């Protein structure tokens, strides 16, 4: 929360629990002509306004290179993409009145002078009080000139929040770097003009209700946390699969790959929330501290036998929902000899007291059978098989499994054994199932709604801190380097998998060697 909170003295606010409203502010979106602004950002802001979560003094300023009818486009976008549709004309009359646009090159200092004058006008007209959120939703190469020019134009207030003056916060979209070196450089650029607490590195997965629920599940229930360690947990599997391919993003994806696109950010964030120690408080600093500890405890993978620990694959031709789909190398924008991975399976260990010896198996990929994000926790078996079948075979040796489903069909289920009714003892697995959709009967907010609101409130808990990002890049860059070395020597073949399958055989073998199998989520 910002330090200057006028609402504290408003007696009518007291007791109105359940809604948080930020200070008046203006949000400047760089890259406003892009898809993200249209599909996610402005519809999310409109929904926040509709839910009475935005202050009266609020304005959006779009900025991009070319001239566009921004307000009209945003009206169309809200009508098409907002969670609450159709657009409410009455609300739009006041929400739309706060939308404006400035065309300019991101590396042109004059554009920032125009922006500065424009924001001063908005402060006077809409009472935004000098508070600013700058949302950088541009290709990564524009991050540096935008930050530099914002600083040079005096648009960033570096006074600590709470000192009474207006505040400035900057949201930076992913990718935050492409490897450790580029991430360090970008971080250094940010820190030249901003304090760490002004930087909101966004990972929209953290805005999902089910991801946040991992913390509630672990730390608000007394029964699970005592079991949450190597004494009771056999292994953990994190799966993020997508049925779709690269959807016309060949140029981007071929430079990126699954490790950069999914693992370094989203999956490592899940893993941190799942594995971290209880923070001393549910606030940004404490949560980030614990996440960093998990990343620091990740055992480095042996680069000389990287393929045993990090299996990569690339999809071949196959079928998606019965329709033939091309191989990755046949996709538009992809090099015909590309060695970019569209699938990855990792075997990780977190070397600390809690997780000693517990393997974390991670897999992510495109063109898999279905879209699933889940964490599967397999518990250790009972120490002794009490129940035996007529032939003496051991019964009841199936482990308990707790699955935290992030998407779709968000929820939690627990598999345990139960006696089949009848005269004999026959244990059979049954599941207890909790589903978000049917248990609360309310539609969860879009991830961007939550994250934009949190940023305006000055709450960075669901964003990533600089040291987290660097630590995860440190780990991933070693893998990338090992792969690059292998590519150069062409010693490691790139396994392929059929589109619509669960990945290459090598990934299955990685678990088979450990006497385990992948879950079928």
Partner 1 sequence: MSGGENPPQVSPPPSGRTPESGDLRARERQEGWAVPIDAVDAFTLGAAIAVAPDKIEQELTALWRKAAERAQSTDARFTVTRACLWNFIIHSNGEEEFFFTKRLIDEMSESVPARILSLYETSEAEKSDASVVGDDGSPLRASVEANFRRSGTGRREVLAEEITLEAPHIEANRLSGLVRSLLLADVPTALFVRNPATQYGWLPRLAPEADRFIFDSRKLGSGATLQCTYNNLQKLYRSQPAGGRPVVEIADLGWVRLWPWRILLAGLFDPPQATQALRQLDSIEIHHSAGEEPAALLMAGWLLERLGLGPVSQSAPGVWSLKPEGEVAQKPAELRLVSEPAQERPVGIVGIASIELKSGEHVFSARGVADSRSISLGSPFQPERVQPVHGRPDSELMVAVMGVGGRDPLMYEALRLGAQLVGIQSTAGAGTGETSK
Distance CA 260, CA 183 (A): 12
* Closer by beta carbon to partner 1, 12 or else 223: 12
* Closer by beta carbon to partner 1, 181 or else 428: 428
* Closer by beta carbon to partner 1, 16 or else 385: 16
Return the structure tokens found at 119.
């924001």
Coil vs helix vs strand at 516: coil
* Closer by beta carbon to partner 1, 49 or else 364: 49
Those residues whose C-beta lies under 8 Å from the C-beta of residue 211, and which sit 6 or more positions away, are: 205, 269, 270, 273, 406
CB 292 within 8 A of CB 468: yes
How near is the Cβ of 54 to partner 1 at its closest, in Å?
Answer: 10
* Closer by beta carbon to partner 1, 34 or else 57: 57
**Catalytic residue chosen out of the listed positions 118, 204, 230, 266:** 266
* Closer by beta carbon to partner 1, 130 or else 333: 130
How near is the Cβ of 4 to partner 1 at its closest, in Å?
Answer: 10
How near is the Cβ of 59 to partner 1 at its closest, in Å?
Answer: 9
Coil vs helix vs strand at 406: strand
List Cα–Cα distances, 69 to 12, 31, 287, 346, 489, in angstroms.
40, 14, 41, 46, 52
How near is the Cβ of 422 to partner 1 at its closest, in Å?
Answer: 13
Beta strands in 202-358 (DSSP E): 233-241, 310-320, 323-325, 343-349
Distance CA 372, CA 520 (A): 10
Q: Is 204 a catalytic residue?
A: no
How near is the Cβ of 357 to partner 1 at its closest, in Å?
Answer: 37
Q: What angle do helix axes 268-275 and 284-296 make, rounded to 10 degrees?
A: 100
How near is the Cβ of 48 to partner 1 at its closest, in Å?
Answer: 12
Among 383, 384, 385, 363, residue whose Cα is nearest residue 375 = 363
Which positions lie near partner 1, rule CB under 8 A? 6-7, 9-19, 21, 49-50, 52, 55-57, 88-91, 93-95, 97-98, 125-127, 409, 433, 435, 437-438, 440-442
Among 445, 505, 475, 514, residue whose Cα is nearest residue 297 = 475
Active site residues: 266
């Amino acid at each position: 929360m910002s330090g200057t909170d006028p609402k504290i003295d408003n007696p009518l606010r007291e007791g109105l629990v359940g809604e948080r409203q930020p200070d008046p502010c203006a949000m400047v979106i760089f890259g406003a002509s892009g898809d993200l602004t249209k599909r996610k950002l402005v519809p999310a802001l409109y929904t926040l306004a509709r839910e009475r979560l935005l202050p009266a003094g609020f304005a959006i300023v779009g900025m991009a290179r070319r001239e566009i009818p921004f307000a009209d486009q945003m009206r169309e976008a809200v009508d098409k993409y907002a969670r609450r549709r159709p657009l409410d004309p009455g609300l739009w009359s006041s929400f739309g009145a706060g939308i404006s646009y400035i065309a300019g090159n991101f590396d042109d200092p004059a554009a920032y002078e125009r922006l500065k004058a424009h924001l001063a006008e908005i402060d006077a007209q809409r009472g935004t009080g000098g508070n600013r959120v700058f949302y950088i939703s541009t290709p990564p190469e524009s991050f540096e000139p935008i930050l530099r020019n914002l600083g040079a134009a005096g648009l960033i207030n570096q006074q600590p929040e709470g000192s009474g003056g207006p505040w400035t916060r900057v949201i930076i979209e992913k990718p935050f770097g492409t490897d450790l070196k580029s991430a360090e450089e970008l971080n250094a650029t940010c820190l030249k003009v901003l304090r760490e607490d002004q930087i909101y590195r966004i990972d929209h997965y953290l805005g999902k209700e089910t991801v946040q629920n991992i913390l509630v599940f672990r730390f608000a229930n007394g029964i699970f946390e005592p079991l949450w360690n190597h004494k009771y947990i056999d292994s953990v599997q994190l799966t993020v699969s997508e049925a779709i391919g690269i959807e016309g993003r060949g140029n981007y994806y071929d430079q990126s790959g699954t490790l950069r696109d999914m693992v370094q950010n989203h999956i490592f964030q899940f893993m941190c929330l799942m594995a971290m120690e209880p923070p001393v408080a549910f606030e940004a600093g404490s949560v980030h501290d614990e996440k960093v500890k998990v990343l620091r405890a990740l055992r480095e993978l042996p680069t000389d036998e990287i393929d045993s620990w990090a299996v990569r694959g690339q999809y071949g031709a196959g079928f998606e929902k019965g329709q033939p789909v091309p191989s990755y190398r046949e996709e538009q924008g992809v090099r015909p000899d590309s060695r970019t991975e569209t699938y990855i399976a990792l075997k990780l260990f977190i070397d600390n007291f809690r997780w000693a010896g517990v393997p974390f198996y991670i897999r992510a990929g495109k063109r898999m059978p279905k879209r699933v994000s889940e964490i599967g926790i397999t518990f250790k078996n009972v120490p002794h098989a009490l129940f035996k079948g007529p032939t003496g075979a051991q019964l009841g040796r199936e482990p308990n499994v707790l699955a935290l489903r992030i998407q779709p069909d968000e929820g939690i289920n627990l598999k345990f054994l139960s006696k089949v009714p009848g005269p004999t003892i026959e244990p059979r697995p049954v599941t207890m199932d909790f589903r978000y959709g049917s248990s609360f009967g309310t539609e969860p907010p879009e991830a961007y709604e939550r994250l934009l609101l949190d940023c305006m409130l000055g709450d960075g808990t669901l964003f990533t801190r600089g040291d987290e990002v660097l630590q995860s890049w440190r780990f991933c860059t070693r893998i990338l380097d090992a792969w690059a070395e292998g590519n150069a020597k062409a010693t490691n073949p790139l396994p392929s998998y059929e589109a619509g399958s669960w990945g290459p055989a090598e990934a299955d073998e990685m678990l088979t060697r450990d006497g385990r199998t992948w879950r079928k989520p």
